[in-house]
Amino acid sequence: MNVRRWSLTLLIVLVAGMLAACGGGTTQSGATTGPAGGETAATTAPVAGGETAATAPAAGGETAAGTLPADCSNVALDYWNPFTGPDGPFMGTLTDNFNAANPNIQVVMTSQAEYYTQLGTAAASNSLPDVAIVHADQVATQAFRNVLRPIDDLVSQIGVSESDFPAPVWGAGEVAGKRYSIPLDIHPGVLYYNMDLLSGAGISAAPTNQAEFDAAALALTAGDTKGFLITSGFFSAQTFQTLLHQFGGSEFNADGTAASFNSEAGVRALQWMQDVQTKYGEPNLETDAEINGFKAGGAGMMMNGIWQITNVTGDAVEFQGQGTAVPQFGEQPAVWAGSHQLTLPAQSDADPCRDAAAGIFIKYLLDNSIEWSKAGQIPASNAVRESAEFQALQPQALIAPSVENAFFPPSVPGITDALGPMGEAVSAIMAGTQTDIKAALDEAAGRSDQILAENKTNFGDAPAGQ
C-alpha cells in the first residue's frame, strides 16, 4: 500500500512538472532550420524564442520619437521574426527599448521557427502580423503569394531611399517593379578561427587569401586537431556559393531563368571544398558538427554565418575564438550573405494608424540597428555602419567591408526552390555519396532549370492584384 501511494505521488509530481514545462509562448528547442535553400540560424544549444510582452501603454498621446496622426489612439503592433537562435534576445531588447520610448505604440514580438510555413498559414487565416522580417531570398516568393504588400508609399513617408544602403541588398527588396521590403541587416559568411591554436603554430594573423589559408590549415592539422572543418549539411551550400562567385561564376543568369552553377567556376568551387575536407577536415560531417568541433577546441578554422558570433567567439568559448571576413580564395572578392528585410504583410483591413505606427517602428529599427548588430549582424544602413559606435564594435566592424561584395539571388518567386538541387549536389559530394562533381552539378542544374520553368508558368510576371 505504501509503495502504491508513493508511486502515485511521484506520478502526480511528474505530471505537474511536465505540465508546468508546457507553458509559455512559441518556444523552440534544438537546432532550427528554415526551408531548403533559405538561410537559418542553426543553434547548438536549445534557445527559447519567446514573446516580448507589451508593457502597459501610458494613458494619452505624446511619443518620444515619431508622431502618430492626431486621430490615432494607442496602437498595438504584432512583429514576427525567425530569430530563434542566439541573436533573438538582442532583437527583444531593441523592441523593449522602442516600447519604452513610445508609450502609445506597443510592439509584441514573436520569434518562431518553420517561419515561412507560419507566415503562409497566417496569411490563409488573415492573421498576419503588422511587421514581419523576411529573408532577402524569400521576398519575391512571399510577394507573389500575396503575403506581403508593396510599401513604396511607406518608404517615401519615413524617408529612406536607395542611397542609404548598398546596392545589392536594396535591390533584393524590389519585385516586379515595386518595393516590398527595406533591408535591416546583412549577415555574411565569416571565417571563424581559434587564435590560440593559430599562435601556437606561429601564425599571428587570420588568413586573407588562399596561400595564407593553406599555410594555417596545414600547420593546424596535426594529431586530433583539424585545420578546417566543413560539413555536408547546412552552410556547405552557402560556402559553395561564396566560392562560385569568387571564381567568377553565379548560381543563375541575370533574370533568373536558367541555372549556371554547373559552370567551370562551380566545378572548381566544389572541388576546392572536397580537397579542403580531405586535407584539413573530417569527412562527411553532419550539420553543426563543425560548430561543435570548433567549440570543443578541436578545430583551427571553420566557416559559418555571422549570426554564430555570440556562440563561438568571445565569452562563449574557453579559447580565443575570433571571426574575420572570408578570405579571397578566387579572382574576385565575394561572400555569401543573407539579409533580413522589414516588410508589411498583407492585411484585409489596412488601418492607416497601424501603418503609420509600423512606419515609425521600422524607422526606429533602422536608426538603432547598432543594437541589433551586437547580435552579430551588420547593419544594412550605410549611416549606421559608418558611425563611430559601430566602428568600435569588433569583430563586426572588421567584417563589415565585406558586405560590399555580398550577392543575392534574383528577385524571382520560388528562387529558393531552384537553389534546392544545388544544395543537394553539394551535400552529396561532401558526404561522398557521389564522386563525379561535374555530373552531380549538371544533373542538379537540369532539375533547377525545370523548377525555374515551372515557377515561371506557375507565378507569372507580377503578383496578382498589385
Interstrand relation of 75-81 and 321-325 (parallel, antiparallel or unpaired): unpaired
Segment interacting with other proteins, rule: CB under 8 A, options 23-31, 150-158, 249-257, 402-410: 23-31
Beta carbon of residue 49, minimum distance to other proteins (angstroms, whole number): 14
Q: Measured over all CA atoms, what is the biggest interatomic distance in the chain, rounded to whole angstroms? A: 80
Interstrand relation of 75-81 and 131-135 (parallel, antiparallel or unpaired): parallel
Should residue 296 be labelled a site residue for other proteins when binding is judged by CB under 8 A? yes
Of residues 38-57, which lie at the interface with other proteins (CB under 8 A)?
40, 42, 46
Beta carbon of residue 172, minimum distance to other proteins (angstroms, whole number): 20
Beta carbon of residue 421, minimum distance to other proteins (angstroms, whole number): 8
**Please, are residues 373 and 380 in contact by the beta-carbon 8 Å criterion?**
no
β-pair partners for 131: 79
Beta carbon of residue 48, minimum distance to other proteins (angstroms, whole number): 13
Query: 154, 155, 203, 289: which one contacts other proteins (CB under 8 A)?
Result: 289
Of residues 97-136, which lie at the interface with other proteins (CB under 8 A)?
116-117, 120, 123-124
Q: Residue 207 is placed in which grid cell? A: 588568413
Should residue 232 be labelled a site residue for other proteins when binding is judged by CB under 8 A? yes
Beta carbon of residue 206, minimum distance to other proteins (angstroms, whole number): 23
Query: 79, 90, 144, 372: which one contacts other proteins (CB under 8 A)?
Result: 144
Query: 92, 168, 281, 293: which one contacts other proteins (CB under 8 A)?
Result: 293
**Please, are residues 341 and 173 in contact by the beta-carbon 8 Å criterion?**
yes
Q: Residues 107, 135, 398, 285: is their CA dihedral positive or negative? A: positive
Beta carbon of residue 417, minimum distance to other proteins (angstroms, whole number): 5
Should residue 451 be labelled a site residue for other proteins when binding is judged by CB under 8 A? yes
Distance CA 136, CA 171 (A): 9
Of residues 347-376, which lie at the interface with other proteins (CB under 8 A)?
none
Should residue 450 be labelled a site residue for other proteins when binding is judged by CB under 8 A? yes
Closest to other proteins by CB, 238 vs 402, is 238
Segment interacting with other proteins, rule: CB under 8 A, options 67-75, 137-145, 157-165, 239-247: 137-145
Query: 234, 240, 307, 408: which one contacts other proteins (CB under 8 A)?
Result: 234
Closest to other proteins by CB, 73 vs 450, is 450
Should residue 433 be labelled a site residue for other proteins when binding is judged by CB under 8 A? yes
Segment interacting with other proteins, rule: CB under 8 A, options 82-90, 270-278, 279-287, 380-388: 279-287
In angstroms, the Cα distances linking 119 to 112, 190, 345, 463 are: 10, 29, 9, 17
Should residue 292 be labelled a site residue for other proteins when binding is judged by CB under 8 A? yes
Closest to other proteins by CB, 283 vs 352, is 283
Residues counted in the chain = 466
Query: 18, 64, 70, 254: which one contacts other proteins (CB under 8 A)?
Result: 18
Should residue 146 be labelled a site residue for other proteins when binding is judged by CB under 8 A? yes
Closest to other proteins by CB, 371 vs 417, is 417
Segment interacting with other proteins, rule: CB under 8 A, options 28-36, 244-252, 306-314, 394-402: 28-36
Beta carbon of residue 286, minimum distance to other proteins (angstroms, whole number): 3
Query: 145, 245, 268, 363: which one contacts other proteins (CB under 8 A)?
Result: 145
Beta carbon of residue 170, minimum distance to other proteins (angstroms, whole number): 26
Beta carbon of residue 3, minimum distance to other proteins (angstroms, whole number): 8
Of residues 402-431, which lie at the interface with other proteins (CB under 8 A)?
414, 416-417, 420-421, 423-424, 427, 431
Should residue 285 be labelled a site residue for other proteins when binding is judged by CB under 8 A? yes
Distance CA 216, CA 194 (A): 11
Distance CA 220, CA 205 (A): 14
Torsion of CA 214, 218, 219, 222, to 10 degrees: 160
Should residue 332 be labelled a site residue for other proteins when binding is judged by CB under 8 A? no
Return residues touching other proteins (CB under 8 A): 3, 7, 18, 29-33, 35-36, 40, 42, 46, 116-117, 120, 123-124, 141, 144-147, 231-234, 282-289, 292-293, 296, 298, 414, 416-417, 420-421, 423-424, 427, 431-433, 447, 450-451, 454, 458-460, 464-465
